[in-house]
Amino acid sequence: MKVLVAYMSSTGNTKKIAEAIYGEIAAEKEIKPVSEVQDIGTYDLSFLGFPTHGYGPDKKTKALLERLCRDGRKVALFVTHAAPEDEPEVPEWVVKFKQAAAGAELVGVFDCQGQLAKGPKFFMKISPNKKLRSDAKKDNSKGQPDEARLERARAFARDTLKRVV
Ligand SMILES: Cc1cc2nc3c(=O)[nH]c(=O)nc-3n(C[C@H](O)[C@H](O)[C@H](O)COP(=O)(O)O)c2cc1C
């Protein structure tokens, strides 16, 4: 059993989740930025993680998922977003990641809140877009992913591995 954990992460949130997942894998394993992954065909299971950019995967992420997730390869997705997990829109965003990964055999999906960085928050605050301004005002993501979320990610990894092995 050979397992890959690959992630995209500009400000470290998705990387923290990747590391929590990686720590739970008791098999041959590798962890790396997804930009360094050419092919996942040599792994029995790949955990692939991304931040939400613009209410789903951004163009680059979508293209990457479509390229890597082929031939029914076993993939578990993990996604971070600044919105709280119970925000009603979140499931729609997660579905967009799943759709981009539809060529894989999807064996698990995890999502959690990750801190909105100061830069994007500033631009959201001064945006002409009312929804973005309102989202910036509501932001409660400071300090995320916290220990409870990392623990949820570990449990997700254990559960996925149990089902796939
Ligand atoms: C350009 C951009 C767009 C974003 N769009 C969303 C969004 O639509 N919904 C959301 O909840 N968070 C959004 N975020 C916040 C990130 O998804 C969140 O902070 C994530 O945890 C960042 O992960 P990273 O530190 O691994 O890059 C956005 C962030 C950036 C920089």
Rounded Cα–Cα distance for residues 77 and 69 (Å):
11
- Asked if 80 and 111 count as a contact pair (C-beta separation under 8 A), the reply is yes
Q: Whose CA is nearest to atom 30 of ligand 1?
A: 53
- Total count of domains within the chain: 1
Q: What is the mean pLDDT of residues 42-49?
A: 97
Measured from the Cα of 113, ligand 1's closest atom is: 21
Measured from the Cα of 87, ligand 1's closest atom is: 11
What is the domain extent for residue 53? Answer: 2-115+144-164
Q: Which of 51, 1, 5, 17 shows the shortest CA–CA distance to 154?
A: 17
What is the pLDDT, as a whole number, of residue 145?
Answer: 98
> Is 22 a member of any domain?
yes
Q: What is the CATH number of the domain that holds 103?
A: 3.40.50.360
Q: Which of 11, 79, 95, 116 to mutate to test the pocket of ligand 1 (most atoms within 8 A of CB)?
A: 116
> Is 124 a member of any domain?
no
Rounded Cα–Cα distance for residues 151 and 164 (Å):
20
pTM, full prediction:
0.97
The tens digit of pLDDT for each residue in 114-150 reads 999 999 999 999 999 999 999 999 999 999 999 999 9
> Is 130 a member of any domain?
no
> Is 45 a member of any domain?
yes
> Is 104 a member of any domain?
yes
83 Cα to the center of ligand 1, angstroms: 9
> Is 136 a member of any domain?
no
> Is 150 a member of any domain?
yes
